[in-house]
Structure 1
Amino acid sequence: MASREVSTMIKHGFIADPSLSFSPSRTTTSPAKLSSSSPPPPSPPPPPLNEPTHSNPTLFDMMSEEHHREQPPRRKSHARVAQIMAEFKNGVVYDAPSDVKLTVVGRDGYRVTMDVHRKVLSEKSRFFMAKMSSRREKGVSHMVEISECDDVEIYVETVVLMYCDDLKKKLVGENVVKVLALLKVSAAISFDEGVVSCLEHLEAAPWSGDEEEVVVSCLDELHLPEDSVGLILQRVSSEPTRDRTDDIFLKLLTGVLQAKDDKARREMKVVIFKLVREEADHEVSKETLYGLCHRCLTSLVLCLSEVTTQMNDPGKDRGALMGEIAREADNMLWMVDILIEKKMCDEFAKLWADQKELAELHAKIPTMYRHEISKITAQICVGIGRGRILVNRETRFAVLNTWLEALYEDFGWMRRLSSRSLDRKLVEDGLSQTILTLSLRQQQVILMKWFDRFLSKGDDCPNVQRAFEVWWRRAFIRQVIAEPDASQLQMTLYD
């Protein structure tokens, strides 16, 4: 090769430059430079497989190595195919010699040839029956090829499954993804027994969350008969009617409201609320939710009526009385949360404003017993203040007219005993915003009373200073009129 061509190939990395080699074998390869008295150098160890024989890799060597680094899954698959073939050859006992050479070719050109039996393939697969339907000449084996396979390993394994007497047992222990791959190939080659066995496995095996999506997607893609996949898909889908949905939710909600174990009740409240938030396709009916709300209100009234007659009884446990009220109030508050989440709380705001009897009973009971009830008022104000409960001005004012004094009285206990569950700033902002949705006259009445209470109670009263400031600016600072000398400001006052 011309020296210029050699130099060019060295320059571009296709041939290693000997002058850059530090291999001991290269520095001593010239016999002329070896001393006659020196022993011959030891032979270098053979290079590892798939590595170049010189220490300075050429560009071609590096490209080759990169190619090998990208192929470990493929080589692993090829090794697995070789293992399947060896097990098939040693494990299958058939009473006739093989008479078909089946070749499976992957998209990457990888080829596997199997010696199989025409009788087995044609009986198990309509695809192979059609392929081998031509009359076989004496002494000539059939040659069948399946080309462009996405996964040669799965195709080979599916053919091996045709020789199994108990396919269902053979699939025991296989993961769902592997069974889905076998199902796809079985369907592609019309291996009906394989399809049935894979479907039976999928119906019986548990699925993870990710596997569930893959199963549904695969079955939808294969377009298998409805009667063959219906049982499997019933695990993840159904077509409930509105009545059935309401019946289920009514049972779940009632179960939580009547639960005897407080810890389990708290946990299931979180779970059911999350499910209610997620269910969108089949809305639980408004009638169902409000039916439960009326039950909760009735229970709360009865509870307070009993407490008013028993709280002076020295034999009655005060802690038990507080627990009963707290439980009923918590049930009501949970239902309000659900109504707000479902955007159905407008009617409840009016219903709560009309609870005159309950408000009167509330006023007769010491604050330490009743303060949990005021959380309902606070939550309604938060909903109104954040625009999640939309009701007319009369209803907004009626809620505050009925329950605001009670909220003021209970706020100190709420703040101390419910510090973890009560977001004070959220409540104060909600109350402020609710007040500011009223007329200026109504704002004035409410905020002047608040002003006096706040000065005497301090932290035991909700701080609606922001609403107070906004009301003041709205009511009194309407316009600024400059005097001729621009030194005086005139404030116009409005009633």
Structure 2
Amino acid sequence: MDKAGVAMTYKFGDPSSSDILVCLKTREGRPEWFHCHSSILVQKSKFFADQLSRVDSTNCIEIPCTKFGVLQVAIALSCEEITQSCIQYLEAVPWEDKEEEEILKAVSGLGPLAMPILARIQPVDINATKNVFLAAIRFATSTGGPCPPFADDLKVSAREQVEYMLVEDEDMPLVTADGEVKSEVRMSLSKMFSKFEKELGSLLLESDLTAAAEDIVLQSLSDLEWMCNILPKMDLLKDFVSNWIDVSDYVLKVFQDKKFDTTMWGAKLKLIEVAGKVLDAVGYGNVIFPAPARVQLLKFWLSYVRKMKPLLDSKGSEDVGFAYKMDEDLCQSIEGAIISLVLALPSNDQADIMADWIQTEQVRYPDLSEAFEVWCYRTKSAKRRLVVGFNEIGNATISL
């Protein structure tokens, strides 16, 4: 009978045909004995082949078992077939985070044999990262079309992926600087603003405001707020602010229409929150716009915030369950941004805003006292400089 035929008749652990004992010593020092067959061990394991080829080899091999896991043991005993089987298995199944480092450590010395596992975790190239980011942006900012099952959950997941990539992915600075990526994001932003305007137009055409219609507008504002939050990481916040300034006049006309005087409180508060982010960006110089654009932005939203703050407070006083009041952080943030905006304007524009603020009956919010004091000081200083300048010119003339 040939060797293959004999090997097929062997049975692991059969003492009657076994010609060698393998002793595995556990970490606790307890021995475990196995009846094995030297011909099979030599054929399947380089470790056992080396052990049994020694001149001083015996019919008992002792192995200290200090490693756990089939793959680790297979590598330690140079069992190539078992190692390959383990790699095929690990490549096909999901890993837990805590297992990844252990697996990588185990296969680190296997060379090409470990490529199926290493391929799962190797860094992707820039184009692959860009394509993933673009796909996530398109879904996260989708504004129409048929909605697949779980569309809202998928959109949330897409947005989380975009946020994660912008913060954690080391390749993102190269991706966000890409012209195609910027163009795609700008296009998505433009579509979102266009959709928002159309929804507001539809509101005006409806005879009765429905909860569903209000929810649509509120959702669009939430979508725009999300874009406003991520665009600074892509150096595209200026695009958002520019679009916001362009639509402000129309948006405020709709929101201040008489038919909505006693409705849309949630949308009105969200509108103020998004406007606050824009005022903050412009007021503190995160985006740079010429003075006329800043004046326009300020005049639009200063009057609206001044009108809505006491109205929302009054509603809250009347109804304890009213959930749409401006909280303290929001109030302070907007007030600070407005003061900063005012102080950065040309003095004549500051004078117009201060005159309007003093004359209005609702001067409590936003409180521009600080800006007014600075404006007064600057005005006096400017007059003194002017007088000093005239005196110097006069003295120079006389001396001539």
Query: Does the alignment reach a TM-score above 0.5?
Result: yes
Q: 2:232 aligns with which of 308, 330, 340?
A: 340
Question: What secondary structure sits across from 2:19 in the alignment?
Answer: coil
For residues 268 and 126 of structure 1, do their structure 2 counterparts lie closer, same or farther at Cα, with a shift above 3 Å needed? Answer: closer
Distance 1:472 1:220 in 2: 72
Say if 2:22 is the partner of 1:133.
no
Alignment of 1:359-374 (within 5 A): 359-364=252-257, 366-367=260-261, 368-369=263-264, 371=268, 372-374=270-272
Q: Normalised by the size of structure 1, how large is the TM-score?
A: 0.57
Counterpart of 1:300 in structure 2 is: 196
Structure 1 residue 202: Cα displacement: 2.8
Structure 1 residue 245: Cα displacement: 2.5
Counterpart of 1:199 in structure 2 is: 87
For residues 290 and 404 of structure 1, do their structure 2 counterparts lie closer, same or farther at Cα, with a shift above 3 Å needed? Answer: farther
* Alignment check: 8 A CA contact 1:349 1:399 kept: no
Structure 1 residue 244: Cα displacement: 3.9
Counterpart of 2:6 in structure 1 is: none
Counterpart of 2:397 in structure 1 is: none
Counterpart of 1:435 in structure 2 is: 342
Counterpart of 2:141 in structure 1 is: 253
For residues 480 and 95 of structure 1, do their structure 2 counterparts lie closer, same or farther at Cα, with a shift above 3 Å needed? Answer: farther
For residues 341 and 474 of structure 1, do their structure 2 counterparts lie closer, same or farther at Cα, with a shift above 3 Å needed? Answer: farther
* Alignment check: 8 A CA contact 1:103 1:113 kept: yes
User: What percent identity do the matched residue pairs reach?
Assistant: 17
Distance 1:225 1:125 in 2: 16
Q: 1:329 aligns with which of 214, 221, 239?
A: 221
For residues 406 and 113 of structure 1, do their structure 2 counterparts lie closer, same or farther at Cα, with a shift above 3 Å needed? Answer: closer
The superposition leaves residues 136-178 of structure 1 with CA deviations (integer Å, 9 ceiling, x where unpaired) of: 69xx7357677xxxxx3345xxxxxxxxxxxxxxxxxxxxxx4
Distance 1:418 1:213 in 2: 48
Alignment of 1:270-285 (within 5 A): 271=160, 274-275=163-164, 277-280=166-169, 281-282=171-172, 283=175, 285=181
Q: Normalised by the size of structure 2, how large is the TM-score?
A: 0.69
Say if 2:303 is the partner of 1:405.
yes
Say if 2:377 is the partner of 1:457.
no
Q: Extract unaligned runs of 5+ from structure 2.
A: 1-11, 317-322, 389-400
* Alignment check: 8 A CA contact 2:137 2:159 kept: no
Q: Which amino acid aligns with 1:339?
A: L
Structure 1 residue 345: Cα displacement: 0.3
- Give the CA RMSD over aligned residues: 4.3
Distance 2:151 2:292 in 1: 38
Counterpart of 2:371 in structure 1 is: 467
* Alignment check: 8 A CA contact 2:26 2:66 kept: no
Q: How many residues align?
A: 350
Structure 1 residue 276: Cα displacement: 5.2
* Higher helix content, 1 or 2: 2
Distance 2:101 2:363 in 1: 57
For residues 256 and 204 of structure 1, do their structure 2 counterparts lie closer, same or farther at Cα, with a shift above 3 Å needed? Answer: farther
For residues 286 and 123 of structure 1, do their structure 2 counterparts lie closer, same or farther at Cα, with a shift above 3 Å needed? Answer: same
* Alignment check: 8 A CA contact 1:125 1:189 kept: yes
Say if 2:36 is the partner of 1:119.
no
Alignment of 1:22-33 (within 5 A): none
Question: What secondary structure sits across from 1:418 in the alignment?
Answer: coil
Distance 2:137 2:158 in 1: 13
Distance 2:165 2:52 in 1: 58
Distance 1:117 1:262 in 2: 60
Q: Which amino acid aligns with 1:337?
A: N
Q: Extract unaligned runs of 5+ from structure 1.
A: 1-90, 147-151, 156-177, 482-490
Structure 1 residue 246: Cα displacement: 0.4
The superposition leaves residues 382-422 of structure 1 with CA deviations (integer Å, 9 ceiling, x where unpaired) of: 22344443444444334224443334333445665533777
Structure 1 residue 221: Cα displacement: 5.8
Counterpart of 1:375 in structure 2 is: 273
* Alignment check: 8 A CA contact 1:100 1:144 kept: yes
Counterpart of 1:10 in structure 2 is: none
Higher Cα radius of gyration: 1
The superposition leaves residues 301-347 of structure 1 with CA deviations (integer Å, 9 ceiling, x where unpaired) of: 1122222232xx2xx23544433332322222222122134332012
Counterpart of 2:353 in structure 1 is: 446
